[in-house]
Amino acid sequence: MKELLFRRKAKFIQYLFATFLFIIDHFAQIGLFSLILGAIERGDTGYYKTVILITIGFIIYSPLNFLISRMLRIRYMRDTILDVRKQAFDKIIHMTFKQYSQKSKDVYISNLINDINTFENKFFLSLLNFLINAGMFVISLVILIVLDYKLAIGMLLFSAFLFLLAGFFTKKSTALEQEVSTANEQFTTEMSNTFQGLEILKLNHIEEKFKEKSLDTIGRLERKKFAANVFTDMQMKIVWILAFVASVAALIYLTYGFLGGMTLALGGLLFQLCTSISRYLINAFPMWNQMKASISIYNKIAEPEEETLSNLKGTKPFHFEKKIKVSNVNFYYDKKQILKNASFTIEKGRKYLIKGASGAGKSTLMNLLAMSIDDYSGVIEADGANYKELSEKSFHDKVAFIYQDVFLFEDTIQNNITLYKDIPMEQIQYAAKVCGLEAVIQDKKNGIHEMLTENGKNLSGGQRQRISIARAIAKNAEILFVDEGTSSLNEELGKEIEQVFLELDNTVIAISHRFYEGVTDKYDYVLEIKNGLIHTFPAKDYFDEVITC
C-alpha cells in the first residue's frame, strides 16, 4: 500500500499540501471568530473596521483555497485509482491458469468493479478526512499547549484513551468490509448465472423462482452493507458521546478561568480549540478504521497472492523429444479416489484417446497431463524432468487445447489463428491449409485479414473448430489436448475435423464419445479408465473388441 501511495511522490506531496490548505482555511475561520469576539469586547471602531476588512478578505480567499485544494487532490486520486485498476487487472491476467480456474470469472468481475468502487469511494474519503482531522488535531493541540498547557494535557490524555478504544474497533471494521466484498462476489456470480440461463428460465416459466433467489442475494448484500455502515456510525456515536463529555469538562474548567479574569476572546478561543479537538477525534478514529478496511480490500484485489509467487517456482523449461512417463499416480477429489496407481507412457507423435464411462475421470486425467492439476501423488515426467519442476509458461508455449466450444476474438482471422504471436505468414497459411480453411479465407473480402464478429458468429461450427486446430498448428504445438473437440458438430463434419488432427505429426491426447468409422481407429492407443484404473490398449485391438462385442 505504501508503495502505491508514494509511487507518485510529487503528486502525493501536492495532495498533502492540498490537505494542509484545507486545514489553514479551518484555522483562519477559528481565528476570525476570535477576532470578531475581540472586536465586540473592545468596542473600538478602528479595530472593528479592520476586522470587517479581514472578514471580506476571508470570504474571497476561502472558496479559492477550496478550489485549488480540490484540484490538487483530484489529480493524485485519479492517477492512484488508475494504478489500482491496472494492478487488479494485472493480478487476474497474470494468475496461473490453475489459480484462475479456482474461482468463477464473475468473482473477478466483481473484484474489478465492486471492490474497486468500494476502495475508490471509501479509501480517499477516509484518508482525506483522517489527514485533515489529524492535522487539525495536532495544530490545535500545539496552540492549546502555548495558551493553556493544563487544558492541553487533559485533552491529550482524552485523545490517548480514544486511540486505545479505536483499536478495538479496527478488526471488526475490516471483517465487515471483507464480508461486503464476498457478498458482492456472490451477487455478481448469481446474477451472471441467472442471465446466462435466462433462455431456459423463460422457456420453462420459472423466472419467479429465480427472482426470489436473486432478491435473497440482493437482500443479503444490502444487509452486509448496512451492518458495515451501522458499525462505522456506531463508532462515531460512541466517540461523539465521549467527546461531548470532554467538552463539558473543558467548559467547566474555562468557567473557573473566566471567573478568575480570563478575557472573552481567549476563553472563546480555548473553548473552540477544545470542542474542535473533540470533533477532529470524532471524525478521525472511524476514518482510520475505514481506511484500514479499505486497505484490506486493496490487498485482496491488487496484491499478488502467496500462491502466485510460490507457483512461479517451477522454472525448468518443458522439453518433449521422447516421452511423458506417468508412474504410480493417485489422485483424489476430497476423499474420493479418481485415479489409482496410474502408470503409462505417452510417446511423442502418437495419438491417444481417453475412454471411460461418464464420471470415470477422463477430464481429470487430461488435466493432470496438461499440468492443470498438481496435487497428485506419484510422478509425471517429461523426458525425465518432473512435471512439478517445470515452468507452466514454457509448457503452455508448447501445447494447445481444443475444446468443444471455441472462443474467438472480435479480430481478424489471422489474429485468431496466431493469438497475437509473431508467426511467419507461410506458417499461418500452412496451418490454415492443413485445417481446410483455405476456401473460407478466399471467400472473405479481406482474406485472412477479415474481421470476425463477436465470438466468430459469422463462422460455422466446423469453421470455428478448424480455427482452433489451426492455432495449434501455427504455434507448432508439440501436444494437442482435444476435449470433445468434435461433439458439437454433425457426424460428417465431426469425422472430417477428427481426420484433420489425426493426420498431423503432433502428439494428440483426446477425449471423445464419438466413434467415426474409418477414422477413430487411426488413434494409436486407447487409455481406458475403469474403476480408477487405467489400461492401455492399441486402438485397433480396442475397437475391434468393442465392435465385435
Ligand X SMILES: Nc1ncnc2c1ncn2[C@@H]1O[C@H](COP(=O)(O)OP(=O)(O)OP(=O)(O)O)[C@@H](O)[C@H]1O
CB closer to ligand X, 114 vs 512: 512
Residues 429 and 421: their CA atoms lie apart, in Å, by 14
CB closer to ligand X, 65 vs 363: 363
CB closer to ligand X, 215 vs 357: 357
Min dist. Cβ of residue 362 to ligand X (A): 4
Min dist. Cβ of residue 466 to ligand X (A): 24
Tell which residue, 18, 91, 467, 40, has the closest CA to residue 303.
91
Residues 415 and 452: their CA atoms lie apart, in Å, by 10
From the list 147-155, 199-207, 319-327, 358-366, the region that binds ligand X by CB under 6 A is 358-366
Min dist. Cβ of residue 358 to ligand X (A): 4
Residues 241 and 176: their CA atoms lie apart, in Å, by 23
List the one residue from 26, 224, 300, 362 that touches ligand X (CB under 6 A): 362
Min dist. Cβ of residue 541 to ligand X (A): 22
CB closer to ligand X, 307 vs 347: 307
Q: What's at 35, amino acid-wise?
A: L
Mapped onto helix, strand or coil, the DSSP state of residue 267 is helix
| Contact yes or no for 254/270 (Cβ under 8 A) | yes
CB closer to ligand X, 120 vs 374: 374
Q: Cell match 471568530: residue?
A: 33
List the one residue from 19, 80, 111, 364 that touches ligand X (CB under 6 A): 364
Tell which residue, 393, 395, 372, 366, has the closest CA to residue 382.
395
Min dist. Cβ of residue 190 to ligand X (A): 19
Q: Cell match 469586547: residue?
A: 41
Give CA angle at 245 (242, 251), nearest 5°.
145
Residues 466 and 435: their CA atoms lie apart, in Å, by 5
CB closer to ligand X, 339 vs 473: 339
Task: Give the neighbor-by-neighbor strand order of the sheet with 323-333.
Answer: 336-347, 323-333, 377-382, 385-386
List the one residue from 356, 456, 461, 532 that touches ligand X (CB under 6 A): 356
Min dist. Cβ of residue 483 to ligand X (A): 8
Residues 28 and 71: their CA atoms lie apart, in Å, by 21
From residue 230, alpha-carbon distances to 63, 167, 184, 268 in Å are: 33, 18, 18, 35
Among residue numbers 334 through 353, which ones bind ligand X (CB under 6 A)? 338
Min dist. Cβ of residue 531 to ligand X (A): 12
From the list 19-27, 144-152, 237-245, 355-363, the region that binds ligand X by CB under 6 A is 355-363
CB closer to ligand X, 78 vs 530: 530
CB closer to ligand X, 7 vs 535: 535
Min dist. Cβ of residue 338 to ligand X (A): 5
List the one residue from 360, 370, 469, 482 that touches ligand X (CB under 6 A): 360
From the list 45-53, 122-130, 361-369, 520-528, the region that binds ligand X by CB under 6 A is 361-369
Question: What would the grid cell of residue 126 be?
Answer: 477516509
How many amino acids of this chain bind ligand X (CB under 6 A)? 10
Min dist. Cβ of residue 532 to ligand X (A): 10
Would you call 510 exposed, middle or buried from its count of C-beta atoms within 10 A (0-12, 13-18, 19+)? buried
Is residue 372 within the footprint of ligand X (CB under 6 A)?
no
Is residue 286 within the footprint of ligand X (CB under 6 A)?
no
List the one residue from 38, 257, 361, 456 that touches ligand X (CB under 6 A): 361
Min dist. Cβ of residue 373 to ligand X (A): 9
CB closer to ligand X, 111 vs 364: 364
Buried b (16+ CB within 10 A) or exposed e, 231-250: bbeebbebbbebbeebbeeb
CB closer to ligand X, 338 vs 440: 338
List the one residue from 57, 167, 349, 359 that touches ligand X (CB under 6 A): 359
From the list 91-99, 270-278, 360-368, 516-524, the region that binds ligand X by CB under 6 A is 360-368
CB closer to ligand X, 219 vs 359: 359
Residues 218 and 190: their CA atoms lie apart, in Å, by 10
Q: Which helix (H) or strand (E) holds 346?
A: strand 336-347
From residue 484, alpha-carbon distances to 478, 487, 510, 514 in Å are: 19, 5, 7, 9
Is residue 455 within the footprint of ligand X (CB under 6 A)?
no
Q: At what angle do helices 264-302 and 45-93 cross, to 10 degrees?
A: 10
From the list 63-71, 217-225, 316-324, 356-364, the region that binds ligand X by CB under 6 A is 356-364
CB closer to ligand X, 367 vs 416: 367
CB closer to ligand X, 310 vs 358: 358
From the list 120-128, 161-169, 231-239, 359-367, the region that binds ligand X by CB under 6 A is 359-367
Residues 368 and 529: their CA atoms lie apart, in Å, by 14
Any residues with CB less than 8 A from the CB of 122 and at least 6 apart, and which? 177, 290, 293, 294
The values of phi and psi at residue 440, to 5°, are -60, -45
Mark residues 310-339: x for contact with ligand X by CB under 6 A, - for none: -----------------------x----x-
Residues 29 and 269: their CA atoms lie apart, in Å, by 11
Is residue 363 within the footprint of ligand X (CB under 6 A)?
yes
Is residue 358 within the footprint of ligand X (CB under 6 A)?
yes
Any residues with CB less than 8 A from the CB of 23 and at least 6 apart, and which? 132, 135, 136, 139
What residues line the site for ligand X (CB under 6 A)?
A: 333, 338, 356, 358-364
